[in-house]
Amino acid sequence: MDLAFDRRHIWHPYTSTLTPLTCYPVSRAHGVYLQLEDGRELIDGMSSWWSTIHGYNHPHLNQAAHQQIDQMSHVMFGGITHQPAIDLCKQLVAMTAEPLQHVFLADSGSVAVEVSLKMALQYWQAKGESRSQFLTLRDGYHGDTFAAMSVTDPDNSMHSLYKGFLPQHIFAQSPKTGFWQQWDESDLDDFKAKLTLHHHDIAAVILEPIVQGAGGMRIYHPKFLQGVRRLCDEFGVLLILDEIATGFGRTGKLFAYEHAQIEPDILCLGKALTGGYMTLSATLTTSHVANTVCGGEAGCFMHGPTFMGNPLACAVANASMEILAQEEWQAQTQAIETQFAQQLPLLTEHPLVKEVRWLGAIGVVEATTAVNMETIQAHFVEQGVWIRPFGKLIYMMPPFISTPQQIDTLIAAVHSALNRPECFQSLS
Ligand SMILES: Cc1ncc(COP(=O)(O)O)c(C=O)c1O
């Protein structure tokens, strides 16, 4: 591959043209393996940013894609419908909380979040109330488009860069009680205080249920989420749950809100929706919200992307749903969780480890100091694994099909990185 061209001309996520970092050329992928151009195979501990839950090159997903591409790969969704979208939306309505009856299909996670925020704004507009604020949590992440970024942690997503353009929203402290810890009711104090003060202006609360992903890999107590739902009901504010990272089994439940036995008013899905094959997202809402929105001034929901309901993506998503329906994901994520629960706490003896956290097929090691990306990445590749940390966070979100040996290899690679001072910024 022409890596020199790549380095000179291609922008990778969050990279500099002045000091581009090494990019590893991948030629193919199968099962949990990424194959590099030179033939080396790496166990993927990232599921390509948490999406390829069934692994790469899956025969059932491949077959669905082949079949659909021979029928039609795309057709506009305005005034036209098709079987793959109908099948997918039937599945989504059936598998999510009962009140969620209406599905809006879009292209990416960030757009699903934009759609959810627009739904909430149109809902209040239709009710004759002017509410333009959102309440969310510190350490959250909801995407890179402007509205999604405006409800993402202000420091992590550098709101200062876009000052004057980015809408200002309200941030409550993120929950401190971990998933496996004793619940502390005072965790809700700041959230409650902010909601009490601003509820007349707040269109919706938006947050990631149970796991705050890219904003800090924090795994919090279900009682926090229960408290949020209770307070939203009390103050008459909509609750948007962003399950783009957690949806489709990642936390050991099909949807993370099930840990708290609550239901959202609006739900955002993406990433693993197509088993990680291609980009597709969905925003679901209740009949009450949908019908209120459509009874408003606009008379409809004002959104319609070109590739909305792309048949190819819907067909692959349907195949992914069929694999999930076989329910092996439950035993698989449970086995991965057990392995993380047994092995990650052993790492806390290491002086560079601040904390370890796990839930379902998510394992997190928070270091006391930030990683040196270039050297830790090279080290992981040498160890035959693909793990891409950020800041002080070294985490694993492997495909559900990963074997115990493969998980062992991932954890061993993390352990060996901890013993390499050059893998950490302040030590190298
Ligand atoms: C919780 C959450 N919401 C939204 C997004 C944005 O999704 P996308 O990158 O597909 O736009 C992400 C991506 O990591 C996410 O983790």
Convert the pLDDT of each residue in 118-168 to its tens digit: 999 999 999 999 999 999 999 999 999 999 999 999 998 888 899 889 999
- Supply the pLDDT for residue 241: 98
Has 17 been labeled as part of a binding site? no
Handedness of CA 246, 220, 226, 291 (dihedral sign): negative
Low-confidence ranges of the chain (pLDDT < 50): none
Q: Which CA distances in Å does 331 have to 177, 222, 361?
A: 27, 21, 11
Task: Identify whether 14 is a catalytic site residue.
Answer: yes
Q: Whose CA is nearest to atom 13 of ligand 1?
A: 143
Q: Whose CA is nearest to atom 9 of ligand 1?
A: 109
Place of tokens 């307070």: 231
> What b-and-e string marks burial along 32-60, b requiring 16 or more CB atoms within 10 Å of the CB?
bbbbbeeeebbbbbbbbebbbbbbbebee
If one counts every other C-beta atom within 10 angstroms of the C-beta of residue 155, the result is 12
Has 306 been labeled as part of a binding site? yes
- Domain positions in the chain: 3-57+328-423, 72-325
Task: Identify whether 141 is a catalytic site residue.
Answer: yes
R_g of the chain, CA atoms, integer Å: 21
Task: Identify whether 24 is a catalytic site residue.
Answer: no
Say if domain 72-325 classifies as CATH 3.40.640.10.
yes
pTM over 0.85: yes
Q: Which residues have CB under 6 Å of ligand 1?
A: 108-110, 113, 141-143, 208, 213-214, 242, 244-245, 270
Say if domain 3-57+328-423 classifies as CATH 2.40.10.10.
no
- Supply the pLDDT for residue 426: 79
Has 141 been labeled as part of a binding site? yes
Cβ atoms of residues 100 and 277 within 8 Å: no
- Supply the pLDDT for residue 428: 59
From the list 192, 194, 271, 392, the catalytic residue is: 271
Q: Whose CA is nearest to atom 7 of ligand 1?
A: 109
- What digits encode the pLDDT tens for the residues 348-406? 999 999 999 999 999 999 999 999 999 999 999 999 999 999 999 999 999 999 999 99
Q: Whose CA is nearest to atom 8 of ligand 1?
A: 109
- Supply the pLDDT for residue 157: 83
Has 271 been labeled as part of a binding site? yes
- Supply the pLDDT for residue 26: 98
For residue 277, report the distance from its CA to the centre of ligand 1, in Å: 15
Q: Which atom of ligand 1 is closest in space to residue 279's alpha carbon?
A: 10
Size of the chain, expressed as the number of residues it contains: 428
